Homo-oligomer: A and B are copies of this chain.
Amino acid sequence: MSTKVETATRAGTAVGLPLERVDAGEKLRGQARFTGDLDVGRMLHGKVMRSPLPHARIVSLDASRAERLAGVVCVLTGRDLLDLPSPLYGHALKDRPIVAIDRVRFAGEPVAVVAAEDEATAEAALALIDVEYEELPAAVTIEEALAPDAPLLHEGPQRAGLFHGLGELGEREGNVCYRYHIDRGEIEAAFAHADVVVEGEYTFPAVYQYALETHTVIAEHRPDEITVWASCQHPFLVRAELADLFGLPLHRVRLIVPYLGGGFGSKSYTKMEPITVAVARKAGRPVRIRNRVDEAMLTTRRHGLRCRMRTSATAEGRLLGREVELWLDTGAYADNGPRVTATGGDAAPGPYRWAAYRVDAACVYTNTSPSGSYRAFGATHVQWIGESQVDEVARRCGLDPLELRRQNLCVTGEELRAGGKPLDADLIGDVEKVAEAIGWGRPRQRWRGRGLSVGLLAAGAHPVSNATVRLESDGIAVVLVGTTEKGQGARTVMAQIAAEELGLPLERVRVQGADTRYTPYDRSTGASRSTTLAGLAVQRAARDVRDQLARIAGSDPDPDEYVALMRRHFGFAGGELIGVGEVRPRGTGSYAEGPVFWEVCVGAAEVEIDPETGVVTVLRTATVADVGRAINPKLVERQDEGATLQGIGNALFEEMLWIDGQLANGDLLEYRIPTLRDMPAEMTCIVVENGDGPGPYGAKGCGEGALAAIPAAIVNALADAGVPMTELPLTPERVWRRIRELEKEATGG
C-alpha cells in the first residue's frame, strides 16, 4: 500500500472525534445478532465427540447405536471424508483432518459429530458412539517432543497451506514443523568483546484467548454451494480453505459473519468451519455447532514458549549483541504456529541498535490442543524476556533503565530489519511518556517496584483490502468492507472514515457486515490491520464517490445537496454512486517488505508484592497507543485498556495446565481470566498522534501493543522490587518461592 499520508481535505465531521459506537444502540437493546442467535431454518444441532486420549490409533468406531437414537439425523466420522480431494486443512500447513481419521493427536480432538434435531439429543447420542483406541506414547511438552526418541505426531512430507507465505517449505525435522532464523552482524564478536553479558532461560505458559462468545458455526451444504454463518475473524481466508477442502470455486462458498463477541485471535483463520460443513454435507440440512467454553479451550490457545536468551553490552551500557533460542509449542496441528514463531523471532531482539543478533526459533508439535493467534502474538511471548535482560544490563552498568533505553533505542526512520520497513514511530518519546505517567524516578517504598518496557510488533499482516461505498439515493452512504466487527469498534471506525470523506454525519453512514458473496475482499481482521488497511480502502472508496459527486456538481458539493444532485444525475429517485477502494502491497508484495507498520509496545507498571503471600498487585499502568492519528480516541483508549487487562492476566495468573496429557483447568472455574477486580487503580493510556502511519489520515492500528508491553513492565517492576522472575505467570506461589530463594541466596543459604 501507499506510504503517502492521505489527509482529510475537508473540515472533520467524524475523524478524530470520540463518537459513540454505531453498534452501541442495538447491542445495548439486545437486538444485535450473533451467530448463535440465528436460526436459518431446518437447522440441526451438532455436538462433537472428542478423544479422551492425547495420542492414539482409532481401532474401531461404531456410530450405529447413536444413529438409531430418535432425533439423530447422522453421525460424521473420518470415513465420511474419503471422497474429498484431501481431508486435511491448515492455512500454513495442511496437517489437520476435518475430523479424526484413524488417529487422534490430542485429548479433545474431534472424533465424530452427531447432528440431531436438538442439542440435548445430540449430546445424549455421543455416549452411544463406540470407539476403541490403541493408545500411543504421547509428547505433551516441548521437551518430550524434542527428545530423540519422541513419538512423531506427523509423518510424510509437509504440505503447504494456501497461505503458507513463509518462503520455502522446509523438511519437517521430527516434531519441528517450522524453523525461523535471523542472523545479523558478527554475533560471536558482539559477545567476545562485551563487558556485560546477561543470560537466562525462560518459560511462557500456554494461555487461552478467552472471548465471551465461543466459536459458533452454522453451515449449509447444497450441491455446488456452501453457506456458512460463522463467528470468524477472517471470512475470506476461511472461504478459500473451505473452497479448497470441498473442491469448489471461491464464489460457491459463502461466509456470512454477524457480530463477533470478541476474538483476540481465537477466531482467526479456520477453526470449526470445516467440521460443521462436513456434518451439514452428510446431514443434507443446515447444522449449527456451538462450542461450550471447555470445547473452545480445546479448539485454540496461545503457544507456550521456552526461551534461552543472552544479551551483551559495554560497561557504559551500549547494547552489543543478543542471541535467542525459542521453542514454541504449537500443539497437535500447526494452525498459525509458523507465523507466530516468525513474529516472535522478529520481536526477540527488540527495537535496539545492535551490533549483532541471532535468533533461532522452532515451532514444535506436541500432543496438546492446537495453538493459533492471540493478540500481540510473538511479541507478548518474548518482549518480557528481552526487556528484563535490558533492565538487568542497566542494573549491572549502574544506569537508569530509561536512560539506557534512550541511548540504545532505534530512532524514527532507522532501519530495523535488513531491507524492511524503517521505524515509523518515536519510541524514546513514547517510553518517556509512560515513565512520567507512573512517576518514574520518584522514591519508592520497599516491596514496590516500577518497570518499563519497549517493543515492536510487526503489524498489518498482508496488506490487501478492497472496499466499496454506495451512496444511495436518500443520501446515506453504505460501506461494504470485509472487516469483521468483533467488539473492537471496526464498523464505527469505518463509518467515521467514510463520513469524514463525504462530509456526512455519522448517522448517514452504514457499515454492512461481511458476506463474502457480496462484500469486497479483505484479507483478515487481526494484526491491528483494520483501521490502517481496510480503513484506507474505505477512505479511497469514499473519496471515489466524492470525486464523482464533484464531477456531477461541477464543484465540491455540499453534503446537503447530494440527494438533489443524484436525482438530477439519474433523473429520478433511484440509482446510486459506487466508489471503489483498493489497498495492496507497494512492491513485491511479500512479507519481506517488512510490516505495514510497526506497532509500538510501550508500557510501564508499578507493582506491590506481598512478601508473605507472594501476591503481586499492579498499582498503576501506563501504555502508549502510538496510532499516528486516532480515528476515534475513545475506542483507542478502550483498546489499550482491554489489552492492559489481558496483559495483567498473562503476566500474573493465566496458564493452561496439562496432567497426563489432559487439560486440567479447561473451563472458567479453574482457568482464571482477569476481571474488573484485577484492574489497576490507575490505568493511563497515552494516545500519541504523530500522523506517521500508512493508514487514512496518517493512522496506524492499535490495540495489541499493550498486551506485549504490560507483562514485560510488570516483570521489570518485580525485578525493580528485588524479585527477578524468569517464568510466567507470576503466581503467588512462584513469587513466594522466588522470594524465599533470594532470601536464601542473600543469607548465603
Listed in ascending order, the chain A residues whose CB lies under 8 Å from chain B are: 26, 29, 31, 38-43, 162-163, 165, 222-224, 236-237, 240, 243, 249-251, 462-464, 466, 468, 470, 472-474, 476, 478, 480, 510, 512, 515, 517-521, 523, 568-578, 580, 582, 584-585, 588-590
Within 8 Å by CB of A472, from B163, B250, B572, B577, lies B250
The 10 closest A-B pairs by CB, nearest first: A571-B589, A518-B518, A39-B41, A41-B41, A464-B575, A571-B585, A521-B576, A464-B570, A251-B510, A578-B580
- Judge whether A464 and B163 touch: CB under 8 Å: no
A22 vs B586: C-alpha distance in the bound complex, in angstroms? 38
Name, among A249, A251, A575, A584, the residue most crowded by chain B CB atoms within 10 Å (CB to CB): A575
Name, among A470, A520, A577, the residue most crowded by chain B CB atoms within 10 Å (CB to CB): A470
Chain B residues lying within 8 Å of A31, measured Cβ to Cβ, are 222-224
Looking at the assembled complex, report how far the CB atom of A131 sits from the nearest CB atom of chain B, in whole angstroms. Answer: 33
- With A250-B474, A468-B468 already in contact, the answer to whether A165 and B519 are too (CB < 8 A) is no
Within 8 Å by CB of A571, from B249, B462, B470, B510, lies B462
- Judge whether B480 and A518 touch: CB under 8 Å: yes
- Judge whether A466 and B29 touch: CB under 8 Å: no
Known interface pairs A571-B585, A571-B589; 8 further A-B residue pairs with C-beta atoms within 8 A, sorted by A's residue number? A29-B223, A165-B572, A237-B574, A250-B472, A251-B478, A462-B572, A464-B571, A468-B468
A92 vs B31: C-alpha distance in the bound complex, in angstroms? 35
Name, among A40, A243, A472, the residue most crowded by chain B CB atoms within 10 Å (CB to CB): A472
Chain B residues lying within 8 Å of A580, measured Cβ to Cβ, are 578, 580
Looking at the assembled complex, report how far the CB atom of A404 sits from the nearest CB atom of chain B, in whole angstroms. Answer: 39
Looking at the assembled complex, report how far the CB atom of A598 sits from the nearest CB atom of chain B, in whole angstroms. Answer: 19
- Judge whether B574 and A468 touch: CB under 8 Å: no
Looking at the assembled complex, report how far the CB atom of A591 sits from the nearest CB atom of chain B, in whole angstroms. Answer: 9
Chain B residues lying within 8 Å of A572, measured Cβ to Cβ, are 163, 165, 462, 464, 523, 589
Within 8 Å by CB of A468, from B43, B224, B523, B578, lies B578
Task: Report the nearest B residue to A236, measured CB to CB.
Answer: B574
Task: Report the nearest B residue to A473, measured CB to CB.
Answer: B250
A512 vs B250: C-alpha distance in the bound complex, in angstroms? 13
Chain B residues lying within 8 Å of A478, measured Cβ to Cβ, are 251
Task: Report the nearest B residue to A515, measured CB to CB.
Answer: B518
Chain B residues lying within 8 Å of A523, measured Cβ to Cβ, are 572, 574-575
Chain B residues lying within 8 Å of A249, measured Cβ to Cβ, are 472, 474, 476, 510
Chain B residues lying within 8 Å of A40, measured Cβ to Cβ, are 40-41
Task: Report the nearest B residue to A252, measured CB to CB.
Answer: B510
Chain B residues lying within 8 Å of A515, measured Cβ to Cβ, are 518
Within 8 Å by CB of A518, from B512, B570, B574, lies B512
- Judge whether A590 and B571 touch: CB under 8 Å: yes
Chain B residues lying within 8 Å of A237, measured Cβ to Cβ, are 574
- With A251-B476, A568-B589, A590-B571 already in contact, the answer to whether A520 and B584 are too (CB < 8 A) is no
Looking at the assembled complex, report how far the CB atom of A579 sits from the nearest CB atom of chain B, in whole angstroms. Answer: 8
Chain B residues lying within 8 Å of A568, measured Cβ to Cβ, are 589
Can you list 5 contacts pairing A with B, beta carbon distance less than 8 Å? A41-B43, A236-B574, A462-B572, A518-B518, A570-B589
A40 vs B39: C-alpha distance in the bound complex, in angstroms? 7
Looking at the assembled complex, report how far the CB atom of A137 sits from the nearest CB atom of chain B, in whole angstroms. Answer: 38
Chain B residues lying within 8 Å of A510, measured Cβ to Cβ, are 249, 251
A45 vs B97: C-alpha distance in the bound complex, in angstroms? 42
Chain B residues lying within 8 Å of A243, measured Cβ to Cβ, are 474
A574 vs B569: C-alpha distance in the bound complex, in angstroms? 35
A236 vs B162: C-alpha distance in the bound complex, in angstroms? 39
Task: Report the nearest B residue to A585, measured CB to CB.
Answer: B571
Looking at the assembled complex, report how far the CB atom of A570 sits from the nearest CB atom of chain B, in whole angstroms. Answer: 5
Within 8 Å by CB of A470, from B520, B575, B584, lies B520
Chain B residues lying within 8 Å of A590, measured Cβ to Cβ, are 571
Chain B residues lying within 8 Å of A574, measured Cβ to Cβ, are 163, 236-237, 240, 462, 464, 521, 523
Looking at the assembled complex, report how far the CB atom of A746 sits from the nearest CB atom of chain B, in whole angstroms. Answer: 56
Within 8 Å by CB of A588, from B521, B571, B577, lies B571
A215 vs B221: C-alpha distance in the bound complex, in angstroms? 27
Looking at the assembled complex, report how far the CB atom of A700 sits from the nearest CB atom of chain B, in whole angstroms. Answer: 20
Chain B residues lying within 8 Å of A470, measured Cβ to Cβ, are 520
Task: Report the nearest B residue to A465, measured CB to CB.
Answer: B575
Chain B residues lying within 8 Å of A464, measured Cβ to Cβ, are 570-572, 574-575
Chain B residues lying within 8 Å of A476, measured Cβ to Cβ, are 249-251
- Judge whether A517 and B518 touch: CB under 8 Å: yes
A539 vs B396: C-alpha distance in the bound complex, in angstroms? 72
Looking at the assembled complex, report how far the CB atom of A73 sits from the nearest CB atom of chain B, in whole angstroms. Answer: 16
Chain B residues lying within 8 Å of A480, measured Cβ to Cβ, are 518
Task: Report the nearest B residue to A587, measured CB to CB.
Answer: B571
A520 vs B577: C-alpha distance in the bound complex, in angstroms? 9
Name, among A517, A519, A571, the residue most crowded by chain B CB atoms within 10 Å (CB to CB): A571
